[in-house]
Structure 1
Amino acid sequence: MKIAIIVRRETLDKCTGKGCLNAFFRRIDAFARYGDDAELVAFTQDGGDLEHKIARLKQLGVDVVHLSSCIRGKSPHYEDLAKKLAKDFAVVGYTHGPYRGRTRDAICLPRGDRKTAPIP
């Protein structure tokens, strides 16, 4: 299982990524569903050329994209970004902390050609 994490650009200006990376490497919160074979192959931010990033993630063989908890909490484009990514990847709309956020629950979407969503 190949995983990518996308974080909020504005948050990354101040953030070290510790929360997202800690959750992945400890297999807690949004990453508790994965075994030892899960591989983090990309850690990037939501700014810049998103189409280029999507193409590169596809080349890397990414199966699931996790949107960081800061995107869920602070980005007005959270739902649109999740839907766009779900055309090519399963999407889990948080990384660390609970599935139920302060302002909204995480979005979990299957890749566009699948019938079932990833389990929250």
Structure 2
Amino acid sequence: MRSVTSTSPRSAGGRGAPVEPRRADAAPRRRAAPSCDLGLALGIAVTGSVAVAVYRGGIPADAPAAAHESVGAALALPDGGLREQAREAFTTALHSASTLSAVFALVTAAVVLTLLRKVPRT
């Protein structure tokens, strides 16, 4: 399992720390790191929230509470029909989250390309 680590300026010497002239190009990247961290955290939160909402929407209302909380708990229940519904709901949830991420990436790429057209070539 991979973990996400923070690359915030605080861990890299602080925001106001002096920068050596030979490393001056690294300073803007250090200042941009909190924005990247925020984007990563928000992306994970939004994608996960969508997946959970879609999963819970695919589980019948009369199902045990454990089935609404996790797919693992739903698969451990003895009801075969509920297990199949949980599998289907989980697959649909992952597809929905993946589709949302892909659409967001395409929209972001279109915005970046549009904005880069205004930048003069050097």
Give the TM-score normalised by structure 1.
0.22
Task: Name the larger-Rg structure.
Answer: 2
Greater share of helix: 2
Greater share of strand: 1
